[in-house]
Amino acid sequence: MLSVVADVGGTNIRLAVCCHKTGEVSQSRTFACAEFLTLDAALFQYFSTLPEKVSALCLAIACPVENDLVTMTNLSWKFSKIALQEKLQLAQLFVINDYTAISLAVPFLNDNEKIKLGGGEAQQQGITAVFGPGTGLGVSHIIHVNHKWISLDGEGGHVSFSPNSREQADVLLLLQEQFGHVSAERLLSGQGLVNIYHAICRLEGKQAHFHEPKQVTEGALNGECELAKRSLTLFCQAMGSFAGNLALNLACTGGVYIAGGIVPRFVEFFKESEFRAQFEMKGRFSSYLSTIPTYLITHDNPGLLGATVYLRQELGLIAD
């Protein structure tokens, strides 16, 4: 009997067989979601390539998973957990949020799967924060209780954005005119980077030429656009301040980790940015934050790794 893990996003679904003993994955496949009308069609396609029957499945999926009916936010797929388990004839089915999976991957990352960005040594079983600018702004924390890693889910990406400079305050005022409430996600996401750029263009009385995150990033990195560079600089500043807030909220002595698909596109710029300085810039608690390490996750698919951790913990196959 096999156990399978899957990371389901709005564009691709990644699947693999999970080794019960080591947690290593094999027979990995990636399918474009657009090729299938339903999730179960994609799963049947993958299962048909395997030599044995699948008995357990863990799905990490980018949408709310609390109810039996799961409806994807950026895709037409929706399914009943009960019906899916019956249709696939599974002994066990686990459906978790994608950031639950990403956060659970953190304790199992190798040194070459993350980049340290300042601070001291992480406390091995300290509370850890994980966040990631991507399509949105995912946030989670993990704690270690009774030999098990537990993910504390939340909607931290929707807390109010708090500016730390005159330029950030000016950007906030413009975004308030547009959105009313301005969450951290309105700046710290793919669209958020575009929002920052458009606001800075308005402040300077200039025409905005970029309308996609990739365009803003490329304009900043190749020296083509000074306003794009200022936008990416502010993005890194705001990310540092947000990360510092997360560290203070739950005394994250285990460190703060950055996931998501955006930051790995400009690693060198990020390393030279004010991210770490803004992380520590918390007045009387600056010295406290200076000891907490921050990391950028470079693992190819932390969601799939975290799904294996969740599955093996639930099956009683992993203790730490």
CATH of span 110-298: 3.40.367.20
pTM of this structure? 0.91
Q: What is the pLDDT of residue 319?
A: 54
Question: What digits encode the pLDDT tens for the residues 209-254?
Answer: 999 999 999 999 999 999 999 999 999 999 999 999 999 999 999 9
Question: What digits encode the pLDDT tens for the residues 103-160?
Answer: 999 999 999 999 999 999 999 889 999 999 988 898 999 999 988 999 998 889 999 9
CB 3 within 8 A of CB 56: yes
Domain layout of the chain by residue ranges: 2-103+301-314, 110-298
316: alpha, beta or left? (left if phi > 0; alpha if psi -120 to 50):
left
Domain 2-103+301-314 and domain 110-298, same fold? Reply is: no
| pLDDT at 320 exceeding the cut of 60 | no
E strands, the chain, where?
Answer: 2-8, 12-18, 25-32, 54-61, 69-71, 78-80, 92-97, 114-116, 128-133, 137-145, 148-153, 256-258, 294-297
Q: How far apart are CA 100 and CA 295, in angstroms?
A: 18
Question: What digits encode the pLDDT tens for the residues 101-110?
Answer: 999 999 999 9
In this structure, which topology does domain 2-103+301-314 adopt according to CATH? Nucleotidyltransferase; domain 5 (3.30.420)
Q: What is the pLDDT of residue 317?
A: 78
Given pLDDT bands bounded at 50, 70 and 90, which one contains residue 75?
A: confident
